[in-house]
Structure formats: structure tokens, C-alpha cells
Amino acid sequence: MIYGIGVDIVEIDRIRDAVDRWGERFLRRVFTEHEIAYSYKKKEPYLPLSVRFAAKEAFIKAISAEIHLAMNEIEVINREGGQPFIEVKGRLKTFFEERSIRRVHLSMSHERKYGMACVVVEK
């Protein structure tokens, strides 16, 4: 049974501008160490940063913002095959257990100017 669905789109330049303006302060407030390291291993780090930002926003929409989370408490990781998923830990793990949420589906994509993500949360 579907618990919630969320979709988000972000301009890649918006993330680039935020990093240029706020630097580490922005990065650490929004992303985890793993997400930052993963993104900066890429030729164009703003693409993976952008889709991760969109994934976090889509995830918050999918759970209807029933729990207040800092964006860096939501972590997007890639499986060995490349498929992205949201790591559930800490307060989020407890939230999932209390609501019998068992799975999060995540799809992300980017083009020259935009990054987008779609999240489906399943009970």
C-alpha cells in the first residue's frame, strides 16, 4: 500500500549558486559527508548534488512532513549497480517502524539545467 508520493525538480544553477555563495556551510547543512564526497568525485558535482537535493525534497513531500528532519538527516546512497536509495536511520528509522513503512522507492534524473526526483513510500 502506498503511504505517500513526492516529486521535486530543481535548477542545477540554483544549487551551484548556493554552493558558490555559502560554500561548506550550505553543503554541510543539506548533505551528508558521503553525499558530498560522492558528488565531488564526479566531473560535474552539481548534477549529483542537485538530484540529491530534489530527492530529499520529494521524500519530505512523500511523508507529508509528518516528522521534522534536517535535510542532512536524509541520505541518498547508490547501490553497487547504481540504483539510488534513501538510507533510513536514526529518528527516521523509528518513524518508519511506528507507521509500518517498509520501503522507499527513489528515481532521480538530470538534464543540462534541471535535476528531478520522484519518491514513493510504501507500507
Question: Mean pLDDT, the chain, as a whole number?
Answer: 95
Catalytic residues: 61, 110
Which pTM value belongs to this model?
A: 0.94
The answer to whether the annotation marks 57 as part of a ligand binding site is yes
**List of residues 6+ apart from 59 with CB closer than 8 A:** 6, 74, 86, 104, 106, 119, 121
Q: In the predicted model, what is the mean pLDDT of residues 69-74?
A: 91
> If we measure between CA atoms, which residue out of 79, 77, 74 comes closest to residue 57?
74
Mean pLDDT of 54-80: 92
Whether the pLDDT of residue 65 is over 80: the answer is no
Domains and CATH numbers, the chain: 2-122 (3.90.470.20)
Predicted confidence (pLDDT) per residue in 3-17, tens digit: 999 999 999 999 999
pLDDT of residue 66: 82
